[in-house]
Amino acid sequence: MEPDYLFKTKPNYFFMFFMVAGAVFFVFMANLLWPLSKLGELPKEDKTSFWIHVTVMFIFFGFSVMCLVLALAFKVIYLTQNEVIVSTPLFFYKRTIMLNEIKGMTEKEEKISASNNLFYDDRTTIGHNTTLQLTDGRKAGISSIQVWGYNELIKKIHTQIRVNNSNTHHH
């Protein structure tokens, strides 16, 4: 029997879609370079352009693999009465954090630079990241880019920690 979950996040399908689209795009770009890299069609002295094509092609394939891994590494986070369970289902990873082990939570915005001007800082917020500081010095991160229901999850974790702290102080 599954424990009673107070809250369960969903994967961020929007993020996953963009990662899969990115993977397809980079494979397509690498494919465009493939005919240019065939050794037989190049003059003997043109080995440099061959190696440049092959290098760029592998970089595109690398980005493609990275996008796929990011899409498949989606997280589902469960909140119960006493713990936060972070799971990455397709990689068979599960981490359980007891609420009484969380000594602090810090939240920061995840930003990217929207400007190519070095002197003008035009940074755009793309999400939020909460770090759970644990009593043994370890940390755990939760990103709004990776999970659907981030704001509600963070509020419920705060509430549950307060509830647990008030219960332990009254007994």
pLDDT of residue 95: 92
Residue 4 lies in a domain: no
Same domain, 68 and 80: no
pLDDT of residue 84: 92
Same domain, 58 and 120: no
Same domain, 131 and 51: no
Whether the Cβ atoms of residue 80 and residue 3 lie closer than 8 Å to each other: yes
Q: What CATH number is given to the structural domain containing 122? A: 2.30.29
Whether the Cβ atoms of residue 34 and residue 85 lie closer than 8 Å to each other: no
Same domain, 88 and 164: yes
Residue 8 lies in a domain: no
Bridge partners, residue 124, by sequence: 112
Supply the mean pLDDT for the chain.
83
Q: Model-level pTM? A: 0.72
- Per-residue pLDDT tens for 104-143? 888 888 777 666 666 666 767 778 888 998 989 899 888 8
Residue 6 lies in a domain: no
Domain ranges, residue 33: 14-72
pLDDT of residue 3: 61
Domain finish residue from 72, 99, 122: 72
- Per-residue pLDDT tens for 67-76? 999 889 888 9
Residue 9 lies in a domain: no
What's the per-residue H, E or C state across the chain?
CCCCCCEECEECHHHHHHHHHHHHHHHHHHHHHHHHHCHHHCCHHHHHHHHHHHHHHHHHHHHHHHHHHHHHCCCEEEECCCEEEEEEHHHCEEEEEEHHHEEEEEEEEEEEECCCCCCCCCEEEEEEEEEEEECCCCEEEEECCCEECHHHHHHHHHHHHHHHHHHHHHC
Tokens for 102?
Answer: 């969380």
pLDDT of residue 62: 92
* Segment among 3-12, 80-89, 117-126, 143-152 with least mean pLDDT: 117-126
Residue 146 lies in a domain: yes
Domain finish residue from 28, 56, 72: 72
Same domain, 117 and 102: yes
Residue 1 lies in a domain: no
Same domain, 67 and 86: no
Residue 88 lies in a domain: yes
